[in-house]
Chains A and B, each alone.
Chain A
C-alpha cells in the first residue's frame, strides 16, 4: 500500500471511525492533564498583573477559546473543500460535527471578553474591528448550522455548508489582523507575532497549557461527533452494524 493510499483510506467512514476510536481516549487524557496544569498555573502560580491585578486571569479562558474559534473555522472550511472537491462522507460529517463546537468557542470568547472588558475598559462591548469581526464569526457558525439543518439531503446540505464556510474564510484574517489594521480598543498581538512574546513566561506557560487543553477537547468531541454523524449517514451499512454491536 502506497503512503498516499495509507492516508486516503481514512476518507472512508469505517477506517476513519476506527482511527477515531483509538485517538479519542488520548485526546481526553491530554485534555485533563493540560487543563489541570493550565488552571493551577494560571489561577495559582502566575503573578497578578501590575496594571490589571487578578482580572487578567480571564486570559486563561478568553484567549484559548478565541484561538479555537478561528482554528475550528479553518477546520470546517477545509472539510468544506473536501466536501466540494472529493465529495467524501468523512468531510461532510466532520464539517457538520465541529460547527457547534466552533460556535461554542466563539460564544465563550465573546462573553469572557465582555466580562474582561467591563472592569478594564469600563464597557462590556464596543464596535471595534476585533470584537465586531468575532461577532460576525459567531453568525457564520450559526448560519452554517441553520443551513445544514434546513436542507434534508445530507450531500446537498454538506455542499451548501461548504460554500458558506469557504466564503466566510475571509473573516479569519480580518479577525486576526484587525488589531493591526485598525485602531482598536482590543489590545494588539502579544504572542502570535514575529518577535519574542511580550508576556512573562510565568504567565505564558499556563496559557499554552490551556490552548493545548482546548485543542485536545476539540479533537476528542469533534471526532466523537463525526463518528456519530457517520453512523447516521449510513444506517443500513454493514460497518455501522458491526460498530454498534461492540
Chain B
C-alpha cells in the first residue's frame, strides 16, 4: 500500500492519526470546545449587561419628571 503525497490513503487513516486518534482529536476537540464556550460566554455577558443597562436607563427616565 503506497502512501500518497499527503501521507494519507483515505479518511480512515486521517481519522486514525497513526494510532494517536484519541490524543490528537481529543486535543483539537478540547481546544474547539473551550474557544466556542468563550465565544458564547462573551455573547451572554453582552446580552446580560445590555439588559441591565437598559433597565437602569428606563428607571432613570421614569424617575425624571
- The answer, among B6, B20, B45, B52, for a CB contact under 8 Å with A44, is B6
Q: Mark B18-61, 1 if CB is under 8 A from A, else 0.
A: 11100110111011001101110110011001101110110010
A45 sits at the interface (CB 8 A): yes
CB of B53 within 8 A of CB of A53, answer no
Q: Please measure, in the bound complex, the distance between the C-alpha atom of A13 and the C-alpha atom of B27, giving whole angstroms.
A: 38
CB of B34 within 8 A of CB of A107, answer yes
B9 sits at the interface (CB 8 A): no
Q: Please measure, in the bound complex, the distance between the C-alpha atom of A116 and the C-alpha atom of B22, giving whole angstroms.
A: 10
Given contacts A57-B24, A100-B38, is CB(A232)–CB(B18) below 8 Å?
no
Inter-chain contacts of B35 with A (CB < 8 A):
104, 217
Q: Please measure, in the bound complex, the distance between the C-alpha atom of A55 and the C-alpha atom of B35, giving whole angstroms.
A: 21
A-B CB pair tally, cutoff 8 Å: 87
B7 sits at the interface (CB 8 A): yes
CB of B42 within 8 A of CB of A225, answer yes
* Nearest A residue to B45, CB-CB: A228
A residues at B contact (CB < 8 Å): 43-45, 47-48, 53-55, 57-58, 61-62, 65, 100-101, 104, 107-108, 111-112, 115-116, 118-119, 217, 221, 224-225, 227-228, 231-232, 235-236, 240-241, 244
CB of B7 within 8 A of CB of A244, answer no
With both chains docked as a complex, state the minimum distance between the C-beta of A101 and any C-beta of chain B, in angstroms: 6
With both chains docked as a complex, state the minimum distance between the C-beta of A21 and any C-beta of chain B, in angstroms: 13
Apart from A57-B17, A112-B30, A224-B42, 19 more pairs, CB < 8 Å: A45-B6, A48-B7, A48-B18, A53-B18, A53-B19, A54-B19, A115-B23, A115-B26, A116-B27, A225-B45, A227-B46, A228-B42, A228-B46, A231-B53, A232-B52, A235-B57, A236-B56, A240-B53, A244-B53
